[in-house]
């Protein structure tokens, strides 16, 4: 494999000191970029874009041409696994993802198509291999999956939800059925992420988008436990390097000490938690990723720079910080404001590191 020219992210995730704080953005390949919108139009649909390795590679690389990010993240969707399980994923304009079938009974669960990621999600692995080749060792490639609980919410609800009535109803009223579904998903996610590493992914992130919708006890039972199951089955090294895992639970700030013990090397936090408080809670057990409010990118470049400075100051000196947004970038953001964001991190962060 090509030697990695910029391993700043990998070193920060292992809590080693670096010359400056590394930066990447959740959804950095996305609708805020005009070139992304043009490529998506060329692909015909969002799913067609995900399934075309060359075009998925193109949109993955687009933000790196504009911004000196410290990582590329695979362009795909968290719902690839439920789609492969036979639920029939489709997207409605303005409505988000939908499934033609749901899983609400033992019969529904028994009717799921067993999958092997290497075969049934080969288009994702083709994209990983293509991106890795085209990156030429410029920066590491992040692979990802939705968490078992997050995938289950879409599979039970049939799409996005405001109140999670169906899936939480199942968890609280039919816990055995929910545990069966989550166990199946945890094993599928572990297989999927392992195959991404085999194809060339160098970092893995588990997106637990809806873990924060659960109660404290429910989170540990239905979300965290199954992420631990996934992490325990992942390869820890590839190409002679460690493969770090980042866990990101949106709305999970109140459970940080428990999340820090799940086996991941890093914990992503959203913008509702002060990163300095988070660091005091987890100590040196894990690196932290985050956590500027994505809406801050609608502010002036001067205000963005001020906020970056505030977050860096709150985290303080030393390694173990990866700068990111507290969730994915908002589609309507001006790309020039992202430039201001990235430049601010690059210019203001070296003072917090002894390696610069």
Output the known binding site for substrate: 27-31, 77, 154, 209, 327
Bridge partner list, 241: 238
Active site residue 100: no
Catalytic member of 77, 108, 187, 274: 77
Local structure of residue 282 (DSSP, 8 states): H
Q: Which of 36, 67, 154, 226 is catalytic?
A: 154
Residues at the annotated binding site? 27-31, 77, 154, 209, 327
Residue 68, classified by CB atoms within 10 Å of its CB into exposed (0-12), middle (13-18) or buried (19+), is: middle
Query: Which member of 11, 20, 27, 279 is catalytic?
Result: 27
Which residue of the set 17, 37, 40, 303 is catalytic?
A: 40
Query: Is 154 a catalytic site residue?
Result: yes
The 8 Å CB, 24+ separation contacts for 171-176 are: 171/214, 171/218, 171/222, 172/218
Could you tell me which of 72, 106, 206 has the C-alpha nearest to residue 150?
Answer: 206
Report which secondary-structure segment, H or E, holds 130: helix 122-135
Residue in the structure block whose two tokens are 């610069």: 356
Distance CA 22, CA 345 (A): 8
Exposed/middle/buried for residue 93 (C-beta within 10 Å: 0-12, 13-18, 19+): exposed
Q: Which residues contact 178 (CB under 8 A, 6 or more apart)?
A: 152, 167, 170, 171, 222
Q: What are the tokens at 105?
A: 């009974």
Residues 18 and 120: their CA atoms lie apart, in Å, by 39
- Whether residue 66 lies in the annotated active site: no
Peptide bond into 188 cis (omega under 30): no
77 is catalytic: yes
Beta bridge partners of 268: 248, 289
Q: Which distant-in-sequence residues (6+ apart) come within 8 Å of 143 by Cβ?
A: 74, 128, 193, 196, 197, 199, 201, 203, 204, 205
Catalytic residue list = 27, 31, 40, 77, 154
């Amino acid at each position: 494999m090509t030697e990695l020219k910029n391993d700043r992210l990998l070193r920060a995730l292992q809590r080693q000191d670096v010359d400056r704080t590394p930066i990447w953005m959740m959804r950095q390949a996305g609708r805020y970029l005009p070139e992304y919108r043009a490529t998506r139009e060329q692909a015909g649909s969002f799913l067609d874009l995900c399934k075309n390795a060359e075009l998925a590679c193109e949109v993955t690389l687009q933000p790196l041409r504009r911004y000196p990010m410290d990582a590329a993240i695979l362009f795909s969707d968290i719902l690839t696994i439920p789609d492969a399980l036979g639920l029939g994923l489709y997207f409605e304009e303005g409505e988000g993802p939908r499934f033609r079938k749901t899983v609400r009974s033992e019969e529904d669960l028994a009717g799921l198509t067993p999958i092997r990621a290497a075969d049934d999600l080969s288009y994702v692995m083709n994209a990983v291999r293509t991106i890795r080749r085209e990156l030429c060792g410029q920066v590491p490639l992040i692979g990802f999956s939705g968490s078992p609980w997050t995938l289950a919410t879409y599979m039970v609800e049939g799409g996005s939800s405001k109140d999670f009535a169906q899936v939480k109803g199942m968890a609280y009223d039919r816990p055995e059925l929910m545990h069966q579904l989550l166990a199946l998903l945890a094993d599928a996610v572990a297989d999927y992420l392992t195959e991404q590493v085999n194809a060339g992914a160098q970092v893995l992130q588990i997106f637990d988008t809806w873990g924060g919708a659960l109660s404290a006890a429910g989170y540990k039972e239905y979300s965290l436990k199954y992420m631990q199951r996934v992490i325990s089955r992942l390869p820890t090294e590839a190409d002679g390097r460690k493969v770090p895992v980042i866990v990101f639970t949106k709305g999970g700030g109140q459970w940080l000490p428990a999340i820090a013990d799940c086996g991941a090397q890093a914990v992503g936090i959203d913008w509702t938690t002060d990163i300095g408080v988070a660091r005091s809670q987890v100590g040196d057990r894990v690196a932290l990723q985050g956590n500027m409010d994505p809406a801050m990118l609608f502010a002036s470049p001067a205000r963005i720079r001020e906020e970056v400075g505030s977050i860096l100051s709150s985290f303080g000196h030393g390694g173990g910080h990866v700068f990111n947004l507290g969730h994915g970038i908002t589609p309507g953001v001006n790309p020039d404001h992202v430039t201001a964001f990235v430049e601010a991190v690059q210019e203001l962060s070296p003072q917090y590191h002894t390696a610069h």
